[in-house]
Amino acid sequence: MSGNQFDVVIVGAGFAGLYMLHRVLATGRTARVLEQASDVGGTWYWNRYPGARCDAESLAYSYSFSSDLEQEWTWSERYAQQPEILAYARHVADRFDLRQHIDFDSRVASADWDEALGSWVVKTGHNRMFRASVCIMATGCLSVPRRPDIKGLEDFSGHFYQASQWPTEPVNFKDQRVGLIGTGSSGIQAVPVIASEAAELTVFQRTPNFSVPAQNKVLDADWVDAFKARYSEHRENHRQGVGSGFGDLAVLPQAGPMDPVLFESLTADQARDILEAAWERGGARFMGAIGDTLMNPVANAFAQNFVHQKIKDIVDDPEIAAALCPSNHPIGTRRICVDSDYYATYNLPHVRLVNLLKDPIIQITEHGVELQSEHVALDTLVIATGFDAMTGALLSMNITGSKGLTLAEAWSEGPKTYLGLMSCGFPNLFMITGPGSPSVLSNMIVSIEQHVDFVMSCLEFMVDHQHQRVEPDPKSQSGWMEHVQEVANSTLFPQGGSWYLGANVPGKPRVFMPYAAGVGPYRLACDAVAEADFRGFEFA
C-alpha cells in the first residue's frame, strides 16, 4: 500500500495534468497521474478525426511556463493539426521527464475522502488503490463523448466511427459512401477532409452552426522568430486580456491588432467593413471584432446576417445555403466553429446535405440511414455528436466527499463551485478549469496554467500555515455561483441552448457553466482571493 501513497494524485494526463504534475514535482512532493488513455494528450489523444485542428492559434495555444520550451518548439501552421499538438504534448512529457509518474490505461472508478486519515482514496477500474492528501481533477471539459439516442445505431454493419474516439490506425474513405451525423466543430472540421477522399458524403444536419474561416496558413519562419522575440509580452497579453486569452495582439503576420468598438458607434457600412476584415483575418476572434456582439442583440443580429450572406455567397444551391444558415441561436452563443472550406464543400457533386429538420432520421439500419422520405445506403457512418461537457467526466467518477456526500448529489441541480476550483464538501479536491471558471470560453492552456499556479499557491499557503485541509466556505461558493449566473445573464449566451448550458444532454440541469467575464477579470478575482489569505476558503 505504501507504494501507492502520494502527496498528490492527479487524474488526467492532458495539458492540465502534465503541467500540474510538473509543478507538483518541482516542489519535492510525490505525485501520481492516473490516465485512462494509453498516452498523454487528453483531448488531443482521443480526437484524431480527419481535419481535427485547434481553433486557437498555435503560438497562443501552448505552454508559457518554460521559455526554453516555447523557444525550442516549432509550430508549422497558424492552427495546428491534432498530430502536431499530440506530438507537442508527448514532447513536453519527455522533456520534463513526466512519464515515469503516470499510470496509463488507468481509468479512475472512484475517489473517496477518508475523513479519519484526511486523504483521498482513489481506485482505478483495475481495482488499484492510491492514497493522497490532495486530489486534482485534470479531467478536461470535453472528455465524455455523447452517443445520440437514435434508434438502431447499434445495428449498422458498415464501418462505424465516433469523432472523439477515433482509432489510432488510419481510416480509409476511398470508394466509400460515407454518412456523417453532427455538425458542431468536430463535424464541420471533418466534412471537407472526408469529402476529399470519399466516393459520396452525406451530411445529416439537425441544427446548423455558425462557422468562420480559419484562414489557416503555414507559418512564416521570420514572423515566428519576431513573435518569439516578444513572447513574454504576447503571453502577458493572453493572460490579462479581457478577451478569452487568445490574445489581442495579432498572431497573424499580415493582420493588425484588433481594436474592438461598440456596435452603436458604427454605421452599417463601418460594421460590415469590420466584420469583413475579421472574416478575412480568420478565426474565432471574429466574435470579438465588434465588442458587444455577445451582449447586444442588435449587434448580434447584424453579425448573424453577415455570416448568412457569406454562406449564401459561397454555397451555389440556394436551398442548401438556406439550410446551412443558423436561425435558432444568436451567433457565438454556441461555440463558434472555425473551418477550412466547410461551406464550399457543399458545392461538390458527391456531397449532399440532408436537413433533418425537414426529413428526420427514423432509424439507423444495417446498411444506412432511414429518413422519413428515403433510405440512404452507406458503407461508413461517422458520428460527431458532442460531449457531456464540463461535468460529465467529474460525475462519472463516483466522487464521495466528507460525510458521505457524493458529487452527483452535491451537483444534482447543476455544478456548484467556488471559482471553478473547488466544491464545498470535497476537501483537498481541486478541479482544473472546472465549471464556474472561464475554461471552455477561453484559450484552455492559458486557463490551465492559471489554475495550476493558483492551486500551487494554495498548497504552499497551507504548508506555510500548517493547514492540512481546505475547502470553500458555503457562502463564498454560493456567492460565486450567483456571480457566474449574473455575468452569463448579462450576455446572450443563455439563449444559445448549447452544451455550455448542458442543453445537449437530456435530463442535465440547465445551468450556464463557464464564467463569461473573460480571463483577465477572472485572474484578477483569483489574485485578490489569494492575496487576502485565500479568502472564501476554509482551512483546518
384 touches ligand N01 by CB under 6 A: yes
3-state helix, strand, coil in the chain (%, to 5): 35, 20, 45
- Which of 185, 216, 391, 437 binds ligand N01 (CB under 6 A)? It is 185
260 touches ligand N01 by CB under 6 A: no
Q: Quick one: cell of 334?
A: 454556441
| Shortest spacing between CB 273 and ligand N01, in angstroms | 27
Segment contacting ligand N01 by CB under 6 A, of 87-95, 363-371, 382-390, 488-496: 382-390
CB of 381 or CB of 399, closer to ligand N01: 381
181 touches ligand N01 by CB under 6 A: yes
499 touches ligand N01 by CB under 6 A: yes
Contact, 179 vs 158, CB < 8 A? no
Tell me the torsion sign for CA atoms 384, 387, 393, 395: negative
Q: Which of positions 427-466 make contact with ligand N01 (CB under 6 A)?
A: 440
| Shortest spacing between CB 384 and ligand N01, in angstroms | 5
Q: Give the list of residues 6+ apart from residue 116 with CB closer than 8 angstroms, or none.
A: none
Strand 129-137, strand 368-371: pairing: unpaired
10 touches ligand N01 by CB under 6 A: no
Segment contacting ligand N01 by CB under 6 A, of 380-388, 398-406, 407-415, 455-463: 380-388
- Which of 69, 87, 150, 410 binds ligand N01 (CB under 6 A)? It is 150
206 touches ligand N01 by CB under 6 A: yes
DSSP 393-450: HHHTT-EE-GGG-BHHHHTTTS---BTTTB-TT-TTEEESS-BTBSGGGS-HHHHHHH
183 touches ligand N01 by CB under 6 A: yes
Q: Which of 378, 330, 317 is nearest to 496 (CA)?
A: 330
CB of 55 or CB of 449, closer to ligand N01: 55
Determine the Cα–Cα distance for residues 134 and 126; give it in Å rounded to an integer. 21
Determine the Cα–Cα distance for residues 355 and 319; give it in Å rounded to an integer. 10
- Which of 14, 17, 179, 182 binds ligand N01 (CB under 6 A)? It is 182
184 touches ligand N01 by CB under 6 A: yes
Q: Give the list of residues 6+ apart from residue 378 with CB closer than 8 angstroms, or none.
A: 156, 158, 177, 178, 179, 202, 367, 368, 369
Contact, 452 vs 31, CB < 8 A? no
Q: Quick one: cell of 472?
A: 470553500
Q: Which amino acid is residue 282, in one-letter code?
A: G
335 touches ligand N01 by CB under 6 A: yes
| Shortest spacing between CB 322 and ligand N01, in angstroms | 17
The binding track of 385-424 with respect to ligand N01, each residue x by CB under 6 A or -, is xxx-------------------------------------
Determine the Cα–Cα distance for residues 436 and 477; give it in Å rounded to an integer. 10
Q: Which amino acid is residue 57, in one-letter code?
A: E
241 touches ligand N01 by CB under 6 A: no
Determine the Cα–Cα distance for residues 286 and 338; give it in Å rounded to an integer. 10
The number of residues making up the chain comes to 540
158 touches ligand N01 by CB under 6 A: no
Contact, 118 vs 133, CB < 8 A? yes
Three-class SS state of 89: helix
Per rule CB under 6 A, count of chain residues that contact ligand N01: 26
| Shortest spacing between CB 336 and ligand N01, in angstroms | 9
Contact, 129 vs 123, CB < 8 A? yes
| Shortest spacing between CB 215 and ligand N01, in angstroms | 14
Segment contacting ligand N01 by CB under 6 A, of 267-275, 306-314, 381-389, 521-529: 381-389
| Shortest spacing between CB 356 and ligand N01, in angstroms | 6
- Which of 4, 66, 110, 207 binds ligand N01 (CB under 6 A)? It is 207
Contact, 394 vs 111, CB < 8 A? no
| Shortest spacing between CB 498 and ligand N01, in angstroms | 8
CB of 274 or CB of 315, closer to ligand N01: 315
Determine how many CB atoms are found less than 10 A away from the CB of residue 124.
18
Q: Which of positions 44-83 make contact with ligand N01 (CB under 6 A)?
A: 53-55
Cell 456571480: give the residue.
483
The binding track of 337-376 with respect to ligand N01, each residue x by CB under 6 A or -, is -x-----------------x--------------------
Q: Tell me which residues touch ligand N01 (CB under 6 A).
A: 53-55, 142, 148, 150, 181-187, 189, 206-207, 335, 338, 356, 384-387, 440, 499, 504
